[in-house]
Amino acid sequence: MNRRYPRPRRPMARRPAAFTLIELLVVIAIIGTLIALLLPAVQAARAQAFRAACQNNLKQMGLALAQYATRHNGLPPGYVSLWDPLHRVETGPGWGWASMILPELDQQALSNQLRFEAPLTGPEQSTVRLTAMSVFLCPADSMARRWTATNGETWLFMGKVYSAFEPICDVAGSNYIGVYGIGEPGVDGEGVFYRGSFTRYTQITDGLSQTLCVGERSTNLNLGRGQATWVGSVPRATFWSCAPSPFDPDSGVCVREDGSGMILGHTGEGHGPGDPYGDVNQFISRHGRGSYFLYCDGHVRFLRNEMNYPLYKALSTRAGGELIGDDY
């Protein structure tokens, strides 16, 4: 006789215990704390990487300038332009020092398309002048890869800046400009780059290791008006330095600067490196209050805004005869 035995009951599966609201809030708080602890380290590492990339850009330019000087027995001109004495304006072509070292920067193909005897504003030169290159852009800054050079007027009224501009042409952006010297950029500068210059190393009597060659410029110069290009000086272009007083907005003035400030910078007028209130044709970076500079011997150094100002000006001259130590 077959006996039927009851089937054993399967144990019921237990549901996993869910997070309570308090446990979830604790987990979120722990994750938030970890992120808060890690974020400064990530930002510091990112800033350090940007600084290293910027220094590397300047060192590449230093090697390219040295190779150019070896081949041509002198540094390239700050920019090339004719002068119209009747209307007191530069007529171009305007190509600058950075455009002349393209072959040394492994940009021979781009250099082959460039015609130095033709105005850089010509439509046939648009391919060249609109080419943005990473070697001329600091990753820490927001310099536009392309911006419009203009001719126009700017004025202050009730603490606000008003402008009326006529566009001339678009140019590729850059964060690096040649050192003109102390005075306003143009002809006969005290530094190694100026209009029509051809500076030989033997003419840098202050010493290659004590003479600035190229420096940084950021868009945050002159309250966001800082612009530069590797292309050169656009003929008839204007820059405007506007400096309203934070205590009396109606006391500020706007000063007209010409296109040479696109490719060159100066150290005069009382503003040290990295001063956001400096003229639009001076030096500033996004690496703290100061700026990186390439010296004529090829080394790169960060100059702080707090440095001795007469010494800063002395470093921008090629043959000033100043006594300069190493402890600045």
253-297 pLDDT, tens digit each: 788 899 999 999 999 988 999 999 899 999 999 999 999 999 999
Pick from 170, 192, 172: nearest CA to 180: 192
pLDDT surpasses 80 at 29 = no
- On average, the pLDDT of the chain sits at 89
pLDDT for the residue 45: 78
pLDDT at residue 35, as a whole number:
74
Looking at residue 26, its pLDDT comes to 75
- So what's the pLDDT on residue 44? 72
- How is residue 2 annotated by DSSP? P
Output the pTM of the full model. Answer: 0.85
**Model confidence at 146, in pLDDT bands (50, 70, 90)?**
very high
Are the C-beta atoms of residues 89 and 235 closer than 8 Å to each other? yes
Cα separation, 297 vs 66, in Å, equals 8
Q: How far apart are CA 191 and CA 214, in angstroms?
A: 10
Task: Give the span between the Cα atoms of 69 and 78, in whole angstroms.
Answer: 13
pLDDT confidence of residue 200? 97
What percentage of the chain reaches a pLDDT higher than 90? 66
What per-residue confidence (pLDDT) applies to 53? 97
Residue 201 has pLDDT above 80, yes or no: yes
What's residue 10's pLDDT? 59
Q: How confident is the model at residue 34 (pLDDT cuts 50, 70, 90)?
A: confident
**Distance from the Cα of residue 26 to its chain's centroid:** 45
| 250 has a pLDDT exceeding 60 | no
Tokens of 131: 């080419």
Q: Which of 16-25, 87-96, 296-305 is predicted with the least confidence, judged by mean pLDDT?
A: 16-25
Q: For position 12, what pLDDT does the model report?
A: 57
Complete DSSP assignment for 45-75? HHHHHHHHHHHHHHHHHHHHHHHHHHHHSSP
